[in-house]
Chain A
Amino acid sequence: MNEDNYAISVRGLTKRFGSFTAVDHISFDVGRGEIFGFLGANGAGKTTAMRMLCGLSRPTAGAGTVAGCDINTQSEMIKRRIGYMSQKFSLYEGLTVTENLRLFATIYGMSDRAIREQSNRVFSLLDMDNMRDTLVKDIPVGWKQKLAFASATIHRPDIVFLDEPTGGVDPVTRRKFWELIYRVSSEGMTVFVTTHYLDEAEYCNRVSIMVDGRITALDTPEALKSEYHADTMDQVFRIVARQATRGE
């Protein structure tokens, strides 16, 4: 495969804060339309790595491309081509559901007409038609999560980054959320997702596990399970994470 076929491709990506190396020479590729699980214990460097990929944090060393743009020099272009959903389902609580969607769509430069069409599509897809004018602070957390996802993908980005998108949500809602992820992935969007739920790792096409700032395992869930002679991803994670020396 040549480089153009990768949504994300990084080599030797490193981030140091003073003498502390949060991310230590990680290299990996994510194919277009792939659902890529990015696992690791707290403090392993996941969030820092993700911030570098999103253009929120500049790498100390290393090179790579995200959505075809150079992470060191073209972070402004990267920002146009990605979507980002933060771990707190961040939305403007004082705005209505529609106002939130419109705001983020406008920020990503969509025209009024496109916004109207996409909002209608999103509302029927998420079954949120009757909540359009409800303030976000008044809707249940499961709906907030769906809305945050819709806000992150309304501009049809090449890649969507999901930072622990299912934290604090019940299993049924989590399951439904993964259906959404599958849907956008089948439409060709690349999904880069971090999670704490190891059962969710099974839903990913490929999974990487970070330990102490390094990627120590990277493969399909099936291959990882057979490599570590484990029945579930949970067991795989325990075996791999045991190598960690860094505290939380």
Chain B
Amino acid sequence: MTIFQSLIKKEALHIVRDRRTMIITLVMPLVLLLLFGFAISMERNDVRVAVVVDRHTPQTREIVARMQADDYFSFTGIVSEREAEDMLRRGETDAILFLRSEDGRLTAHIDADASNPVVGQASSAYIQNLVSGNAKVPVLTSTMYNPQLKSAYNFVPGIMGMIFILICAIMTSVSIVSEKETGTMDLLLVSPVKPGVIIFGKLVPYFLLSCVLLCVMLILAYTVLGLPVSYTIVSVVVVSMLYVVLSLAIGLLVSTIVSNQVSALIVSAVLFMLPVIMLSGMIFPIDNMPAFFRWVSCVIPARWYIEAMRKLMIQQLEFRYILQEFFILLGMTVLLLVLSIKKFNTKHSAYEF
């Protein structure tokens, strides 16, 4: 076996034998994908609506009938005004639709429970649609790229952006720093092995692990979550690999800065995980952020990765539409790699600790 192979084997054995880490690493992406895909759904399926009608007319009957037929609503009945308010308060209904007839003209009023704003907005919008369904001027809305407004795979890019930072940056930095702590890094540095070989022996196993995870997540996204399959998958893989390398560079950089495992964990988590979740556009749209945070988000690699992934996976656009994101990621990767290897070298091969 060559030196390089034996270093990789050593690292692989450590990863595989650490059962807990292994399980977390493999199970977490699956759980996150399924959780965000199905459980945490931003769409609203079963809006419970009670209707208060002061005078039944053919028009009100038509609205109620339409509501009963619609999958989005579960019709809780025609109730009195007092009853309706109680039901809303007790949480037995999500919204109340008041249909009042004055001088032969029908007016509709919606009271929606907005204790969860997303649900409140969605349900009142649905009801509005339903009531105005017989309006004279129909408004045509077409939702592009995601015609069924499914959110099952909307989170795939975000979760991939998070997982790779987690695996590559955090696991790599912690494992390098733990070698410094136990003193085995000294044994490697005092041996004839070149520092470059030591670094790559550390990075390659995590790169391979990330590739396995990428496969698992893509298979899940394209089958269970129903992401449409197309040739953009090639670009998805290419850009993801680039992002993996970038995350590894971040991990290496962190490991040269901190000196123990706990601070490696904290630095990686605070500097990388939080911004990825909060500022990358994974959950909160970047356009809605204050200008300051919009600027900050520009230096977060995950932002560009997630944007590129959205275009490739959900919009199914060709590679030429993500050139900007690609080159920004490429630039960041080169910069971080150069910086971290330089830092590692000045610390170790130039014989300084």
Q: Which residues of A contact B (CB under 8 A)?
A: 51, 54-58, 75-76, 79-80, 82, 84, 86-88, 90-95, 99, 102-104, 106-109, 112, 135, 151
Q: Number of B residues whose C-beta is below 8 Å from A?
A: 25
Q: Report yes or no: B186 in contact with A106, Cβ–Cβ below 8 A.
A: no
Q: Report yes or no: A58 in contact with B352, Cβ–Cβ below 8 A.
A: yes
Q: Interface segment, B65-73, B99-107, B187-195, B310-318?
A: B187-195
- The distance in angstroms between the C-alpha atoms of A151 and B184, with both chains bound, is 12
Q: Any chain A CB within 8 A of the CB of B6?
A: yes
A102 closest partner in B (C-beta): B6
Q: Any chain A CB within 8 A of the CB of B61?
A: no
* Residues on the A chain within 8 Å of B190, using CB: 54-56, 79, 82, 84
* Residues on the B chain within 8 Å of A95, using CB: 10, 13-14
* Residues on the B chain within 8 Å of A82, using CB: 190
A161 closest partner in B (C-beta): B190
CB proximity of A96 to chain B, nearest CB, Å: 9
Q: Report yes or no: A58 in contact with B351, Cβ–Cβ below 8 A.
A: yes
Most chain B C-beta atoms within 10 Å of own C-beta, residue among A93, A103, A104: A103
* Residues on the B chain within 8 Å of A106, using CB: 1-3, 6
Q: Report yes or no: B1 in contact with A88, Cβ–Cβ below 8 A.
A: no
- The distance in angstroms between the C-alpha atoms of A143 and B193, with both chains bound, is 26
CB pairs A–B below 8 angstroms (26 shown): A51-B351, A56-B189, A56-B190, A57-B353, A79-B191, A90-B182, A90-B184, A90-B186, A90-B187, A91-B184, A92-B10, A94-B17, A94-B18, A99-B10, A102-B6, A103-B6, A103-B7, A103-B10, A104-B187, A106-B1, A107-B3, A107-B6, A107-B191, A108-B192, A109-B3, A135-B17
* Residues on the B chain within 8 Å of A75, using CB: 351
Beyond A56-B353, A95-B14, 9 extra complex contacts between A and B, CB < 8 Å: A51-B351, A51-B353, A55-B351, A56-B190, A57-B352, A58-B350, A99-B13, A106-B3, A109-B3
A58 closest partner in B (C-beta): B351
- The distance in angstroms between the C-alpha atoms of A221 and B18, with both chains bound, is 48
- The distance in angstroms between the C-alpha atoms of A68 and B270, with both chains bound, is 49
CB proximity of B194 to chain A, nearest CB, Å: 8
* Residues on the B chain within 8 Å of A54, using CB: 190
Q: Report yes or no: A92 in contact with B14, Cβ–Cβ below 8 A.
A: yes
Most chain A C-beta atoms within 10 Å of own C-beta, residue among B10, B13, B190, B352: B190
CB proximity of A93 to chain B, nearest CB, Å: 7
Residue of A56, A88, A151 touching B351 (CB-CB under 8 A): A56
- The distance in angstroms between the C-alpha atoms of A68 and B42, with both chains bound, is 72
- The distance in angstroms between the C-alpha atoms of A142 and B201, with both chains bound, is 30
Q: Report yes or no: B351 in contact with A84, Cβ–Cβ below 8 A.
A: no
B187 closest partner in A (C-beta): A90
From known contacts A57-B351, A57-B352, A58-B350, infer whether A107 and B188 are also in contact, taking CB-CB under 8 Å.
Answer: yes
Chain B, 291-337, CB within 8 A of any chain A CB: none
- The distance in angstroms between the C-alpha atoms of A33 and B58, with both chains bound, is 110
- The distance in angstroms between the C-alpha atoms of A103 and B351, with both chains bound, is 23
- The distance in angstroms between the C-alpha atoms of A40 and B188, with both chains bound, is 26
From known contacts A58-B352, A94-B13, A106-B3, infer whether A80 and B182 are also in contact, taking CB-CB under 8 Å.
Answer: no
Residue of B3, B13, B14, B183 touching A86 (CB-CB under 8 A): B183
CB proximity of B176 to chain A, nearest CB, Å: 14
CB proximity of B18 to chain A, nearest CB, Å: 7
- The distance in angstroms between the C-alpha atoms of A109 and B194, with both chains bound, is 13
- The distance in angstroms between the C-alpha atoms of A183 and B266, with both chains bound, is 47
- The distance in angstroms between the C-alpha atoms of A104 and B193, with both chains bound, is 10
* Residues on the A chain within 8 Å of B352, using CB: 57-58
- The distance in angstroms between the C-alpha atoms of A103 and B1, with both chains bound, is 10
- The distance in angstroms between the C-alpha atoms of A104 and B7, with both chains bound, is 10
B10 closest partner in A (C-beta): A103
